[in-house]
């Protein structure tokens, strides 16, 4: 592995054609020039409000959507339509909704065993069953759960089944798409701790997509902040949290609840004015300028590039 990175995403674009009249389509720019890298065994948290393109980034990396432009490299090798089947085993996804991502007609044993069947990862039925039971134990499920169906489990247990299914093929990289947002807070903590334990045991790297900044800070080594299809800030998790540079990141962090009432009273909430622009009709220049209190004429003319503000902390802002 030459570069030292497991995943390298370069200028990833994902445009969806939307009908806007007879024989006319307008591209909806869901992801517009996203670039980041993830090292083996590292967690990159991807945050931003709903509709900013987080999930689309995850799905485009795994080629569940065919990217419009840009490159994704795994272990230094570019992933294309031709070789994605080879890499499927190394790159997996845990979906947001544990209720709809599991087949209701299959037992837990068959759900977890399906990837083993697809990639032919066992010699006989006995080995298949042993592998499934080992995976269930790894994610905290009992052996007697194997013959049950998904609807007989709670949300947290279902998400564990989804995680066991993702781990079945021994992947090196997992996209966790809002993997804990559908769960109760107490269950969230259990599942996040499980993700961390699995990372220590197996050395797996995560792209952890979420909108809960406390969760992301807890689990991530680095954080990338997205706004309307673009990464506006990326850096070390604590550094981004303690010293946000981009006005959008500042606003997001000011909304995070603080458990200490004295600190909470001193905390100044930064409320954004205006509405999120439509991805179909983006403002010129910087997409955030219509809601930014620092916006100048330069912001309307040209879109700021991600620039290193020191110590590997990047931000896309003309005025900070």
> What pLDDT shows up at residue 1?
44
> Is 208 a member of any domain?
yes
Give the tokens for residue 314: 């990047």
State pLDDT tens for residues 117-151: 999 999 999 999 999 999 999 998 999 999 999 99
> Is 17 a member of any domain?
yes
Distance CA 225, CA 232 (A): 6
> Is 307 a member of any domain?
yes
Distance CA 224, CA 57 (A): 12
Distance CA 162, CA 139 (A): 10
210 contacts 64 by C-beta, under 8 angstroms: no
Tell me: pLDDT of 169 over 90.
yes
State pLDDT tens for residues 71-118: 999 999 999 989 998 899 999 999 988 888 899 999 999 999 999 999
Helix H, strand E, coil C: the string for 139-197 is CCCCHHHHHCEHHHCCHHHHHHHHHHHHHCCCCCEEEEECCCCCCCHHHHHHHHHHHHH
Distances from the Cα of 101 to the Cαs of 141, 177, 183, in angstroms?
18, 12, 14
Q: Which domain, by its residues, includes 156?
A: 7-315
> Is 151 a member of any domain?
yes
> Is 2 a member of any domain?
no
Q: Cβ atoms within 10 A of the Cβ of 138, count?
A: 17
What CATH number did the domain enclosing 18 receive? 3.40.50.300
> Is 275 a member of any domain?
yes
Segment 220-235 shows an average pLDDT of 95
State pLDDT tens for residues 80-90: 989 998 899 99
Give the number of domains in the chain: 1
72 contacts 8 by C-beta, under 8 angstroms: yes
State pLDDT tens for residues 12-59: 999 999 998 888 998 999 999 999 999 999 999 999 988 899 999 999
């Amino acid at each position: 592995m030459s570069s030292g990175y497991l995943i390298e995403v370069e200028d990833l674009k994902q445009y969806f054609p939307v009908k806007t009249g007879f024989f006319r389509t307008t591209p909806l720019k869901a992801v517009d020039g996203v670039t980041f890298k993830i090292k083996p065994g590292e967690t990159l948290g991807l945050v931003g409000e709903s509709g900013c393109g987080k999930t689309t980034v995850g799905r485009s990396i795994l080629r569940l959507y065919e990217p419009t432009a840009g490159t994704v490299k795994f272990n230094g090798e570019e992933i294309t339509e031709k070789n994605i089947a080879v890499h499927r085993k190394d790159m997996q996804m845990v979906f947001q909704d544990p209720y709809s991502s599991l087949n209701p007609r299959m037992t837990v044993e068959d759900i977890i065993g399906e990837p083993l069947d697809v990639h032919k990862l066992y010699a006989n039925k006995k080995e298949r069953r042993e592998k499934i039971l080992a995976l269930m134990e790894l994610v905290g499920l009992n052996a007697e759960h194997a013959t049950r169906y998904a609807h007989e489990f709670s949300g947290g247990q279902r998400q564990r089944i989804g995680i066991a299914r993702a781990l079945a093929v021994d992947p090196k990289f997992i996209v966790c798409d809002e993997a804990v947002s559908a769960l109760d807070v107490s269950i969230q903590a259990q599942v996040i701790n499980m993700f961390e334990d699995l990372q220590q045991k197996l050395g797996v790297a995560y792209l952890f997509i979420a909108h809960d900044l406390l969760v992301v800070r807890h689990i991530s080594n680095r954080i990338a902040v997205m706004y309307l299809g673009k990464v506006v800030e990326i850096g070390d998790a604590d550094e981004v949290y303690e010293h946000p540079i981009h006005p959008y990141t500042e606003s997001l962090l000011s909304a995070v609840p603080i458990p200490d009432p004295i600190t909470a009273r001193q905390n100044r909430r930064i409320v954004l004015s205006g509405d999120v622009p439509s991805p179909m009709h983006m403002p010129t220049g910087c997409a955030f300028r219509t809601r930014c209190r620092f916006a100048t004429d330069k912001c309307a003319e040209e879109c700021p590039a991600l620039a290193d503000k020191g110590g590997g902390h990047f931000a896309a802002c003309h005025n900070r």
